């Protein structure tokens, strides 16, 4: 079996995988309503969200759903990308609204001090930011940033696709209006579902709109159908929803969201400390290190290639390269989902052997 340490899709536990093989049911049944209601109510609790929905589609569809329901071409939206996924977020915003983009440096994180003047000068309706920039392993300080943006009357839209549940988060405490995560990341279900959370203000914004530039992603339809009978407006990926329910059970058994944050945080510290002892530099600036994925820099492009290919061929361990400025020399080890520390250590032991 491959020891998959890529930042999503992550390995799926057998019990979660097997939950998909239940006998098919119609999504217009009482049984489906019970399943979907359970998912939605648990998500509301996990995120501390006013409303939550599961959208059949990948994380990017969830992000697009948030953007197109909350913003229009008249809205200025200040975006702070600092990596590939931030760039994608800014592009998505640009499709539906007026994106003002402040590109950060690869590997450097955003904190309030670094975004404050751009927020002040923007006169924007909203801010869009990525919580965990997966392409580098950088965690942005969204709590302070969103709190400040909110104090200026802005809507706050956060891509938490690779952050949750391994990174501390609470929608109300973090002043976040719209949040998305992907099923293939920290919750460690199969790919194909976007989990979204909304504040009361966000719900009021899309509920008041007369036109929304999508049919499938129109949250007014999702809300209406959920309020009618706890179902989805279109046919959902029913089998995946069973898997997600099992993944939530596993999360609860392992100490809930706070348990996940602790596990991920400890694994990230452990990974960084072992890599640093081997002489590697981390990609993430100090104080902005991701809980779920560690990016580090090899001594040369050749060494990066050798580590990646020998890990795969000789040890059956799959890691991926970093992106952007670190595309050639950067490597990433994910400690995301229901990982076991011994698998992370196996990769670190193997890297130690390879570089000797
Ligand atoms: C931070 C972030 N945003 C967006 C995406 C895109 O998600 P998906 O591939 O599920 O559409 C990813 C995927 O890795 C991601 O890590």
Domains 15-253 and 256-355 are alike in CATH topology? no
Q: What residue spans define the domains of the chain?
A: 15-253, 256-355
pLDDT in tens, 219-269: 999 999 999 999 999 999 999 999 999 999 999 999 999 999 999 999 999
C-alpha distances in Å from residue 322, one per residue of 77, 137, 191, 284:
28, 9, 21, 11
pLDDT in tens, 307-332: 999 999 999 999 999 999 999 999 99
Q: Is the dihedral of CA 209, 211, 217, 218 positive or negative?
A: positive
Mean of all residue pLDDT scores within the chain: 98
- Cβ–Cβ contacts within 10 Å for residue 264, how many? 24
Which residue out of 92, 131, 182 has the highest number of ligand 1 atoms within 8 Å of its CB and is therefore the one to mutate? 182
CATH fold for domain 256-355: 3.90.1150
Q: Residue 90 pLDDT > 90, yes or no?
A: yes
- Cβ–Cβ contacts within 10 Å for residue 73, how many? 9
Look at residue 10 in the predicted model and tell me its pLDDT: 98
CA angle, 339 then 350 then 251, to 5°: 5
Integer-rounded Cα radius of gyration of the chain: 20
Residue 65 Cα to ligand 1 middle (Å): 14
pLDDT in tens, 143-153: 999 999 999 99
Q: How confident is the model at residue 112 (pLDDT cuts 50, 70, 90)?
A: very high
CATH fold for domain 15-253: 3.40.640
The token pair that represents 127 in the structure block: 């801010």
Residue 199 Cα to ligand 1 middle (Å): 22
Q: Residue 144: what are its φ and ψ, rounded to 5°?
A: -65, -40
Q: How confident is the model at residue 1 (pLDDT cuts 50, 70, 90)?
A: confident
Give every strand in the sheet of 281-282, ordered side by side: 281-282, 293-297, 330-334, 320-321
Residue 29 Cα to ligand 1 middle (Å): 32
Q: Taking the model in full, what pTM does it have?
A: 0.98
- CA–CA dist 152, 313 (Å, integer): 53
């Amino acid at each position: 079996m491959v020891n998959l340490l890529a930042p999503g899709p992550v390995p799926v536990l057998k019990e979660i995988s097997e939950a998909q093989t239940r006998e098919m049911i119609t999504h217009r049944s009482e049984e489906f309503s019970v399943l979907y209601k359970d998912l939605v109510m648990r998500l509301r609790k996990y995120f501390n969200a006013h409303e939550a929905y599961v959208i059949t589609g990948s994380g990017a569809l969830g992000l697009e759903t948030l953007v197109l329901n909350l913003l229009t071409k008249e809205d200025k939206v200040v975006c702070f990308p600092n990596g590939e996924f931030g760039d994608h977020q800014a592009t998505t915003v640009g499709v539906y609204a007026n994106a003002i983009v402040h590109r950060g440096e690869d590997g450097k994180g955003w904190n309030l001090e670094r975004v404050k003047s751009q927020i002040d000068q923007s006169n924007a309706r909203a801010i869009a930011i990525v919580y965990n920039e997966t392409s580098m392993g950088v965690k942005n300080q969204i709590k302070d940033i969103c709190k400040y943006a909110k104090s200026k009357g802005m809507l706050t839209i956060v891509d938490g696709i690779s952050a949750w549940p391994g990174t501390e988060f609470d929608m109300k405490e973090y002043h976040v209006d719209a949040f998305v995560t992907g099923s293939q990341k920290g919750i460690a279900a199969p790919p194909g579902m976007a989990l979204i959370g909304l504040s009361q203000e966000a719900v009021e914004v899309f509920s008041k709109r007369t036109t929304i530039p999508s049919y499938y992603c129109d949250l007014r339809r999702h809300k209406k159908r959920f309020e009618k009978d706890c179902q989805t407006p279109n046919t959902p990926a029913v089998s995946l929803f069973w898997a997600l329910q099992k993944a939530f059970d596993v999360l609860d058994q392992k100490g809930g969201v706070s348990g996940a944050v602790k596990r991920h945080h400890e694994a990230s510290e452990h990974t960084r400390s072992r890599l640093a002892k081997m002489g590697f530099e981390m990609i993430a600036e100090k104080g902005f290190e991701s809980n779920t994925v560690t990016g580090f820099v090899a001594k040369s492009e050749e060494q990066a290639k050798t580590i990646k290919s020998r890990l795969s061929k000789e040890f059956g361990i799959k890691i991926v390269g970093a992106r952007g400025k670190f595309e050639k020399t950067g490597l990433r080890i994910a400690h995301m989902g229901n990982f076991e520390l011994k698998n992370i250590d196996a990769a670190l032991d193997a890297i130690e052997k390879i570089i000797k």
